[in-house]
Amino acid sequence: MKSFNRFNFVFISSVILMVLCGVPWVNDAVSSENETGEAIVAYGDDFVLTQKDVDAYKIFFKNQGIVLPSQKEVLIRHLIKGELFANEIRKKQAKTENLDASMDDQKKIEVKLQLTTEYIKKLLEGYKIPEAAVESYYRSHPEKYTSKSLDEKLRIEIRQMIVEAKKQAIIDQSLDGLISKYHIKIND
């Protein structure tokens, strides 16, 4: 009888420890397949990327002569970026582009890429560069601006150069924010 009590104690203690440490229950785990049997590559709040989607993107880019990253993690992050950016611009602008099931995969990808491009353009246009950064850039490049005064036209030009230099970091920061916002997880 003592061993039974010891077992109960260990079992109950283990359950309490799992709850306190946040160990997910079996029912909380996301299946690696959706209801139609497609392998799920990544998922989150109102977001699912299946292996079928990945394959469709590969075919689309191959037909366009574009080489995708060969590392799986880099490729998946790239595709998640496209999906999230397209979804975000559709939500913000109440876009009516219909991505219904009757549309073929290639057309859906074309629409998503257009939306992604639009999102990135708006993201970069809206990125604020502090006035101090513009003035600092101007003063640190006297050879480039010897005869020019720092007027509004030149301020705009310098802002655009700074944004272009920071473009990838701006895009990555936005993507990381959306991944966090929608709780995106990647299946192994």
* φ/ψ (deg, to 5) at 43: -150, 165
Nearest CA among 130, 131, 120, 133 for reference residue 170: 120
For 1-13, the pLDDT digits (tens) are 444 455 444 444 4
| E runs forming strands in the chain | 40-44, 47-50, 185-186
Closest to 86 measured CA to CA, from 113, 125, 50, 107: 113
Does the pTM of the predicted model rise above 0.85? no
pLDDT at 98: 55
Cβ count within 10 A of residue 166: 14
Q: Is residue 91 part of a domain?
A: yes
Q: Is there a domain that residue 64 lies in?
A: yes
Which of 135, 117, 118, 133 lies closest to 165, judged by CA? 133
> What confidence score (pLDDT) does residue 147 get?
74
Evaluate whether residue 107 is within a structural domain: yes
Is residue 10 one of the residues assigned to a domain?
no
What would the pLDDT profile of 109-152 be if each residue is shown by its tens digit? 999 999 999 999 999 999 999 999 999 999 999 898 887 789 99
Write down the residue that tokens 């079992």 correspond to.
11
pLDDT digits 0-9 by tens, 21-75: 333 333 334 457 777 788 999 999 989 999 999 999 999 999 999 998 889 999 9
In a domain? residue 31:
no
CA separation for the pair 184, 176 (Å, rounded)? 10
Tens digit of each residue's pLDDT (9 = 90 or more) over 70-119: 899 999 999 999 999 999 998 887 755 556 667 888 899 999 999 999 99
Residue 12 inside a domain? The answer is no
Domain that holds residue 118: 41-127+166-186
Total structural domains within the chain = 1
Does any domain span residue 82?
yes
**The pLDDT of residue 101:** 63
